[in-house]
Structure 1
Amino acid sequence: MENQANETELSIPEAVLLGHALASRVADNMGIRAFFIKGPASVIQGLRLPRTSADVDVFVSTAELEAMLSGLRERGWRGRPVDPDNTTFPKHSVTVDHPEWPCCIDVHFRFPGMEKAPNSCYDVMWANTEQFELAGQEMRVPSKALGTVILALHALRSPHVPACRQELEFLAHHTKWQSAVPTILDISTATESLAAMRPFLEDLLPQNAAVEWPDASTEWRNRVMAKEPGSARLIAIAQAPLREKPKMLFRAVFPAPEVHLSRDIYSDMSLLGRLKSHRDRWARFLSAAPRIARDLSPLRRATAK
């Protein structure tokens, strides 16, 4: 019996493909405009090198977010614990999992780097989607131009990571080959992501191109600046109003249980288990302290001006 049970378990690649089909069916049945970002479709489109996706990324408007989550909950999917701190990094997706599935579904309602109001941004994105067959089902995915913007923004959050640099190089080569720069520039402008996309686009544009590059938002600058565990929270504390700093410091030292569970849903939340989680958290922080100090140096220089 045990061997039979093991044989029927979904592998992650199988689960991701079927997860796309499931989420697409939920959206279709409820009349929700949903499209799928990153994942296996981007590999088939030639925007990514072959890789195994670990989860499903579906995008809906803020107006239809709760309906999408409700449809998934009716099928046994449940929200994962999340860090209640929405100041350090404003939330852009909701992650759900299922006890019988080895992958998660991330339901996105905004995308970091795109500064336009979420619903207006969504309308621009939806206008740049196309039909695509995956797992035997028709669903919507970004056009190659929009897919490039999404993947570039995702990699530009962590340009110091070798895998992200490799992805940006691959996207840049593909963009030149497809002569897609004008369309990507238009989408970046329409979604107000020019500031975040600048490191990617600047070298691809003709030298005589006249582009007014806006300043990056504080949220985006913070995302790029925070390279180590703990640095994001320290940046948020440094930028917070004086009256909010004590509460934020307290929560940084004594985090809510959801913080531990967001890292590992199976964390032991007994008193002894939480003490161990605190110890491990501080060990990670102290190990990264020299690199965190390096991360924060631009913030100190900006504050000193």
Structure 2
Amino acid sequence: METSSIPIADQVRLAHGILQRTAEAAGVDILHIKGPSLHPALLQRSADGRSPVPRHSTDADVLVRPSQLERFQRTLERDEWRMTADFIAGSAFGHAANYWHEILGYCDVHRRFPGIELDAERAFDILWGSRQSLRIAHVTCHTPDLNAQRLIILLHAARSGRPDHPDKVRAWDDATVADRDAVLGLASRLDAEVALAAATGHLEDFRGERNYDLWRQFSTGDTIRWHEWRARIHAASSPIGALRVAVRALRLNQAHLRMDLGHDLTRADVMRGYRDRTLRALGELSIAMRDRFLRGGR
């Protein structure tokens, strides 16, 4: 998909501003997360350490009050935003849908944030209750407070497979004891302790939790898909939820394939996608079985 000629950094900031105006017009509460909404204390510093370096981002991320999500989506569609990946196709956590606008580029609309296990509406209330304001593209936008932003980027870093992720270093390693205690307290309120532990290197403290395997898989950079699906099934909160995850595992993610190919899918594209998916799964399973055999032989 082609976007406008606006520089990407300006495009993302403009998208944040427009999304805020859109939400206000619709009577919807949104919080701007990551990208240009990130608190200066969490940004990379210049070489002399005196000034923050603007955060690079290719899309605008917003967290929407779940009970107002459908209203916000209807408003986006009216304003010519096109959904390119729904919540189920968007990620392993089903947390965000991706939209594209001819002028404003991409945005991710979050209905919850991965790692926060508390009911999404209650979690939003907690984040909304301590919100702060920030001017983005000359528009007053709402953001989580500094402690919540620390937690959010730590949870995001936990999915990177990098124990030395720069966000983890700035938000945790370089934080004061008081800052860490505040983040731990917020994680407890939001039921985000397992994911936070995955980010900070303390995941083994939560061995036995139903979502332990899932966060181990992401935080270690394990890219074997059947490991991920097994962990996702185990992390499901109910038998019905586990069944839904298992059914989705069999489906081709056509939204991602469409974005990879850059055009609407043909029948042949879909058939090739299923073929490639099957071959990859068989190859990964073969490697896993070989490794298990070798381990058992020692």
TM-score with structure 1 setting the length:
0.73
Is the 2:151–2:183 contact (alpha carbons within 8 Å) kept by the matching residues of 1?
A: yes
* Pair 1:104 & 2:103 matched: no
Q: Given the alignment, which residue of 40, 51, 69 partners 1:45?
A: 40
**Higher mean Cα deviation, 53-62 or 215-224?**
215-224
Identity %: 22
| 2:223 maps to which of 202, 217, 228 | 228
Distance 1:234 1:67, change over 3 A: same
* 2:272 alignment partner in structure 1: 276
Structure 1 match to 2:61: 57
Alpha carbons 2:85, 2:99 under 8 Å: kept:
no
Equivalent in the alignment of 2:70: 66
Q: Is the 8 A contact 1:18 1:135 kept in 2?
A: yes
Give 1:10's aligned residue: 6
Shift of 1:290: 7.7
Alpha-carbon offset, residue 237 of structure 1: 6.3
The residue that corresponds to 2:22 in the other structure is 26
Instruction: Compute the displacement of 1:145 (Å).
Output: 0.8
Partner Cα distance (2:18, 2:208) in 1: 37
Contact 1:92 1:112 in 2 (8 A): yes
Gaps of 5+ in 1: 204-212, 298-305
Question: Which structure has more RCO (C-alpha within 8 Å, separation ≥ 6)?
Answer: 1
Aligned mates of 1:292, 1:266 — CA distance in 2: 33
8 Å contact kept, 1:38–1:151: yes
**Residues 193-272 of structure 1: pairs in structure 2 closer than 5 A:** 193-199=192-198, 218-219=210-211, 221-226=213-218, 227-228=222-223, 230-231=225-226, 232-236=228-232, 248=246, 252=249, 255=252, 257-258=254-255, 260-261=257-258, 263-264=259-260, 266-267=262-263, 269-272=265-268
> For the residues of structure 1 that align with 2:65 and 2:31, how far apart are their CA atoms?
10
State the shift of 1:280 in Å.
4.3
Matches within 5 A, 1:112-261: 112-158=114-160, 160-161=161-162, 165-176=165-176, 179-199=178-198, 218-219=210-211, 221-226=213-218, 227-228=222-223, 230-231=225-226, 232-236=228-232, 248=246, 252=249, 255=252, 257-258=254-255, 260-261=257-258
1:252-280 residue CA offsets vs partner (Å, 9 max, x unmatched): 5663644633x536355323333433454
Contact 2:84–2:255 (Cα < 8 Å) also in 1: no
In 2, the alpha carbon distance for the partners of 1:12 and 1:127 equals: 31
8 Å contact kept, 1:84–1:258? no
Give the equivalent residue in structure 1 for 2:98. Answer: 95
Structure 1 pair 166–25 and aligned structure 2 pair: CA distance change class (3 A): same
Q: Alignment RMSD, CA only?
A: 3.8
CA 1:286/1:78 → structure 2, altered by over 3 Å: closer, same or farther? same
Aligned residues: 273
Structure 2 counterpart of 1:218, one-letter code: R
Q: CA 1:27–1:145 in 2, change beyond 3 Å: closer, same or farther?
A: same
Task: After TM superposition, give the deviation of residue 18 of structure 1 in Å.
Answer: 0.4
The equivalent residue for 2:295 is none
